[in-house]
């Protein structure tokens, strides 16, 4: 699967770990930055990833900032993006099953590496259930 990844400086370390994990498990990853630990602004990377995911509907996104909160808020400003901030594999699974999330978000200062890998694996291996959840997803999109 194609994954677009982005982070700010606070999420850089975890993003690198997760990209290596994704590539090891056979996914194609495009890292959209940041590439250094110099202070930068998380919305820049949220917007880059959101735009790529919207342009490539079969893809998914990965975003990481310090807490995961700011970068998820920025990504969710894009109609059609459902960026889910997760802290465990159960939240990752439910974000796909019930919310059809297309971007997984984590806090680099919050979540441990192994839990982050497990959550990412669950996110990518879980399908949207549809059914009763479909009408709820449609209600998210306002014109």
| pLDDT > 90 fraction of the chain, expressed in percent and rounded | 97
Q: What pLDDT band is residue 141 in, cutting at 50, 70 and 90?
A: confident
pLDDT at 112 over 70: yes
pLDDT value at residue 103 = 99
Q: Which of 21, 27, 87, 98 is catalytic?
A: 98
- Among this protein's residues, is 40 annotated catalytic? no
Evaluated on CA atoms 122, 93, 72, 110, the torsion sign reads negative
What would the two tokens of residue 10 be? 């606070």
Q: Which of 65, 78, 88, 133 is catalytic?
A: 65
Read off φ and ψ for residue 137, nearest 5 degrees. -65, -40
Q: What is the pLDDT of residues 21-62, one digit of tens each?
A: 999 999 999 999 999 999 999 999 999 999 999 999 999 999
Quote the pTM value: 0.97
pLDDT value at residue 28 = 98
pLDDT at 124 over 60: yes
Long-range Cβ contacts of 89-92 (<8 Å, 24+ apart)? 89/115, 89/118, 89/119, 89/121, 89/122, 90/122, 91/119, 92/119, 92/120, 92/122, 92/123, 92/126
- Among this protein's residues, is 98 annotated catalytic? yes
Beta strands in the chain (DSSP E): 2-7, 28-31, 60-65, 83-85, 103-107
């Amino acid at each position: 699967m194609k994954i677009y990844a982005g982070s700010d400086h606070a999420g850089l370390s975890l993003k690198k770990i997760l990209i290596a994990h994704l590539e090891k498990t056979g996914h194609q990853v495009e890292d959209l930055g940041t590439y250094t630990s110099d202070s930068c602004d998380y919305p820049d990377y949220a917007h880059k990833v959101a735009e790529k995911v919207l342009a490539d509907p079969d893809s998914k996104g990965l975003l990481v900032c310090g807490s995961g909160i700011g970068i998820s808020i920025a990504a969710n400003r894009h109609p059609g993006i459902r960026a889910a901030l997760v802290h465990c594999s159960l939240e990752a699974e439910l974000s796909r099953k019930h919310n059809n999330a297309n971007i997984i978000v984590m806090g680099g200062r919050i979540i441990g590496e192994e839990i982050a890998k497990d959550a990412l694996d669950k996110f990518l291996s879980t399908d949207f259930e549809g059914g009763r959840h479909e009408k709820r997803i449609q209600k998210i999109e306002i014109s």
